[in-house]
Each structure stands twice: as structure tokens, then as C-alpha cells.
Amino acid sequence: MPPDVLNTVASIIGPVVIITTVILGRRARLRKRIVIPDFRRGVRFVGGVFSGVLEAGSYSVDSRKELITIVDMRPQPILMERVGFQDALKHQGVISFGTELLVRDPKLAASALRDQVKDAYVLARETVRTALSKQIVADNGDAARLAQTLTAAIRAELAKVGMGISDIEVTELWSSSPSAQYSEDSVPTVVQ
Amino acid sequence: MTGLLVVVGFFVLLSIGIAQLNRLGRLTTVVLLPHQRGVLFRQGRPVRDVGPGKYRVWAGRELLVHGDVRPITVNYENQVVSLADGFAALYGFSASVEVRDIRKAMYSARDFTQVPAAVLLRCARRQLHLSSSSSLKVDKDSVSNRITEAAKTKLTATGFELMSFRLPQLAIGTMQPVDPQTTPRRNSSNG
């Protein structure tokens, strides 16, 4: 190839390469990389539209167009202690239990709940009250059956917002008999 | 002419390098203090557990998740529980828990420092609720041992070790109504 042709080609390629370098450099600065560990998920929105759930890995994100909402998939232990209720026979009772909140559907959980733990806790507590009002709670022997019933009821309710729970462990169950002194105005106290 | 081609080649390589730079990430330094432990994640997967020291981490590809492993003290007082025979107990306990396996602890909960309290509260309430007032009056140590054993099993499974557990407050009473004139009516939404 004659030298003057080479010179012409080089004089064209040179500026093109410089411009490309500048453009790529600026794009690289606008994009950022995020690491999602295996106990989290990323809910990706592109232009405000849901575009997928990111599994564990390293991702390049264009902050001008994309938004990644990180959802923690680890369990959150919750305790509901001394929740008062009235069963189907209008007996007053107190129940305590422990369980773990879990995220089942990151997309739904990220879009349906502002605070996954607090909001799901309130939903679960209200579900417990509703479920117990339809049950007949006789004595402590009911704990296992009640745990299953409550687990199923809470799971069904939380599934609507992408959450779930592990199996409930009932740690306390007290129900007044019809003749007991426990009334709506009474609270459990200890007399030494 | 050759020199010109070298310059062009240099710029081509430079542009490719810049394009790849973002993929590589930035090299950052993370320092873990003597009371901290961590887990290094590469491409989102746990690679190894790390102790105190200085670590070079590629910010775009790697993540060093660390936590405090100093003992967690759990202390609760004036907790009320109904007993198996219909009586009630007022109790309080204190415990000390240490992180033994940072990776297990990290995966156990969103905030692993909440796990010991949750486990101990669950175990204490359950074991006391299964006890009768007479058994508690006769042998308080027995229920304390049962709580310790139950909590130890659960805590070990989540990467913790129960260092100590004490049940200094335990009083037996009855469930009875209080004077409505002195107690405000409970709001049904608060329970």
C-alpha cells in the first residue's frame, strides 16, 4: 500500500479512535457495577418497567435508565407475644408464637410492601386474630393443630404480597373457660 | 509509518481497556478489625471466610460482607407467661451469646444480631409454658436447664454458641382480672 494512502487511513482512524475512547470512557463512568450475593435478589426496572429478577452475580447497571431494588431473601425471626384474641365461643385467650418471615417472590414483595418486615408482621398479626376468631380454642392440647391452622392462614395471606413464613411454633396458649374471670377488661397479671 | 500504526494500535487497545475497566471494577481496600469476621463473595457466591486484616477487593466483582463477633448480651425482665396448670409466672433472664460461624450466622437472618434474643425468648416462653407452677416451685434449675438445652441446639444450628444463661427472676402467680377503674380499656387493635 502506498505511503500516502496509509497516511490518509491513519489520519482518519486516529481521531475516530480518540472519539471512541472518550465516548466509551464516559459511558463507563455512567454505568456502575453491583454485586448481588446469593442471599439477595435484585429486582430490575428499566425505564420504570419491571424487566426481571437478578440472581446472585455481578451486574452492570446504567443508572440513567435502570433501577435495581435489592431484596434480602434471608429469614427474619419474628415473635408475637401475648396476642389477645376471642375465639368462636367468645372465650378470651392469649397466644404467643415464633416464626420466620421469608420473601417468596422478590418482585411482588418489592412492589407491594414499603417495609417488608413491618408490613408483613402487621398482616400476619391481623390474620392470626381473624383465624382465631373462627376457631374453638379449648386448651393447650390444641397448640399443634392451631399452629398448623395459623401457618396455613398466614401463608395464604402473605402469599398475596410475595412473602411467607416458616412453620409456626406456638410458645404459649391460654384460653379462659366460660366461668373464668378473664374478661375483655382484664389483663394477665401475676399475683405473688 | 510504523510509528503511526503503533500510535493507532495504542489507542485501539486503550479504548478496549477503558471499555473493560468497568467490568473489572475498582480495587478497594477493606480493613476488618479484631472483633470482625467476614465472608468474601465473588460474582455473588461465597468464596472464603476472612478474619481480621486488610483485604484488597475488586468492588465491581467482589463483596466483603462482614459482621461484629463480639458477645451479644440478651437481657429481659418482667416477662409474663401462663403455665401449664393455669397459673402465671413472671420471669426475667439474661444470657450471653457468641458468634462461632460467621457464615452460618450471616445466612440465619437479615440482621443476625437479632437471632439470639429471638431464640432465647422463644425457648424460655415455651419451656416455662410447658411447666406447672408446682414443678417450678420445686425445681427451678430444671426449667433453666431445659431452656438452655433448647436454646443451645437452635443457636448452634445458626452459627452461635450460648455462653451463659441465667434465670434470676421467677415468681409464680395467677391470671386474674385487674380493677377496671384503674386499668384503661384495651384497644382491640393493640391486643
Q: Is B146 exposed, middle or buried (0-12, 13-18, 19+ CB in 10 A)?
A: middle
Domain boundary among B49, B68, B87: B68
Select the residue from A17, A23, A91, A128 to test the B interface by mutation, using most B Cβ atoms within 10 A. Answer: A17
Whether residue B23 and residue A60 make contact (CB cut-off 8 A), yes or no, is yes
B127, B147 Cβ separation under 8 angstroms: yes
Chain length of chain A: 192
Structural domain ending residue among the three candidates B53, B68, B83? B68
Q: Are the Cβ atoms of A10 and B4 closer than 8 angstroms? A: yes
What residues contact A52, with CB distance under 8 A and at least 6 apart? A44
Provide mean pLDDT across the span B151-166: 97
Which residues in chain A have their CB less than 8 angstroms from residue B171's CB? 190, 192
Cα separations in angstroms, A36 against A59, A111, B25, B174: 8, 19, 14, 52
Residue (of B88, B92, B168, B80) closest to B131 by Cα position: B88
Find out whether B50 and B67 touch, Cβ atoms under 8 Å.
no
Note whether B87 and B175 are within 8 A (CB): yes
Distance CA A54, CA A31 (A): 17
| Residue A183 confidence (pLDDT) | 40
- B63 and B98 share a domain? no
Specify which residues B87 forms β-bridges with. B174
Residue B178's pLDDT is what? 42
Whether residue B136 contacts residue B143, with contact meaning beta carbons closer than 8 Å, is answered with yes
C-alpha cell at B172: 409464680
Q: Does B122 touch chain A (CB under 8 A)?
A: yes
The verdict on residue B19 lying in a domain is no
Q: Are residues B36 and B79 located together in one domain of the fold?
A: no
| Separation of alpha carbons A72 and A41, rounded Å | 7
Chain B residues in contact with A28 by the CB 8 A cut-off are 18-19, 21-22
What are the backbone angles phi and psi of residue A72, rounded to the nearest 5°?
-85, 125
**Residue B53 falls inside a structural domain:** yes
> Which ipTM did the prediction report?
0.79
| CA neighbor of A21 nearest in space, from B131, B10, B174, B179 | B10
Same domain, B84 and B60: no
pLDDT digit string, tens, across residues B39-65: 999 999 999 999 999 999 998 899 999
Q: Does residue B38 have a pLDDT over 90?
A: yes
To test the contact with chain B by mutation, choose from A16, A24, A38 the residue with the greatest count of B C-beta atoms within 10 A, namely: A24
| Amino acid A112: pLDDT | 93
> Contact at 8 Å (CB) between A95 and A165?
no
For residue B106, tell me if it sits in a domain: yes
pLDDT digits (tens, 9 = 90+) for B4-18: 667 667 766 776 776
Neighbours of A55 (CB within 10 A): 12
Confidence (pLDDT) at A140: 58
Using CA coordinates, name the residue in chain B closest to A186.
Answer: B177
From B38, B68, B98, give the residue that closes a domain.
Answer: B68
Q: Say yes or no: B76 and B162 in one domain.
A: yes
Q: Is the pLDDT of residue B25 over 90?
A: no
pLDDT in tens, B162-190: 999 999 999 998 765 444 444 444 333 33
Over the stretch B91-146, which tens digit does the pLDDT of each residue have? 999 999 999 999 999 999 999 999 999 999 999 999 999 999 999 988 889 999 99
On chain B, the residues whose CB falls within 8 A of the CB of A163 are none
Q: Looking at the structure, do residues B142 and B117 belong to the same domain, yes or no?
A: yes
Q: Are residues B89 and B159 in the same domain?
A: yes
High-pLDDT (> 90) share of chain B, %? 71
Residue B96 lies in a domain: yes
The CATH number given to whatever domain includes residue B158 is 3.30.479.30
Which residues between 42 and 61 in chain A have a beta carbon less than 8 angstroms from any beta carbon of chain B?
A: 55-58, 60
The total number of structural domains in chain B stands at 2
The answer on B153 and B82 residing in a single domain is: yes
Q: Do B89 and B108 belong together in one domain?
A: yes
- Spatial neighbors of A16 by CB under 8 A, at least 6 apart, are none
**What 3-state DSSP class applies to A120?**
helix
* 111-150 in chain A: CB under 8 A from chain B: 117, 125, 129, 140
User: Does B32 fall in a domain?
Assistant: yes
| Intervals of chain A under pLDDT 50 | 178-192
β-bridge pairing A57-62 and A31-36 = antiparallel
Residue B54 sits in the same domain as residue B78: no
R_g of chain B, CA atoms, integer Å: 28
Q: Kindly report the pTM of this predicted structure.
A: 0.81
Q: What is the pLDDT of residue B1?
A: 60
List the domains of chain A with CATH numbers. 3-72 (no CATH), 76-175 (3.30.479.30)
Is B34 inside a domain boundary? yes
Say if residue B161 is in the same domain as residue B103. yes
Written as one letter, the residue type at A83 is V
Contact between chains at A191 and B173 (C-beta distance less than 8 A): yes
CA distance A118 to A125: 11
B169 within some domain: yes
Position A144 scores a pLDDT of 84
In sequence order, the β-bridge partners of residue B48 are B40
What's the one-letter identity of residue B150? A
Tell me, yes or no, whether B49 and B83 share the same domain.
no
Which has the higher per-residue pLDDT, B191 or B109? B109
Residue type, B48: R
B6 found inside a domain: no
Question: Do both B46 and B112 map to the same domain?
Answer: no
Residue B23 — very low, low, confident or very high, per pLDDT cuts 50/70/90?
low
Residues of chain B positioned with their CB less than 8 A from the CB of A10: 1, 4-5, 8
Range of the domain at B44: 26-68
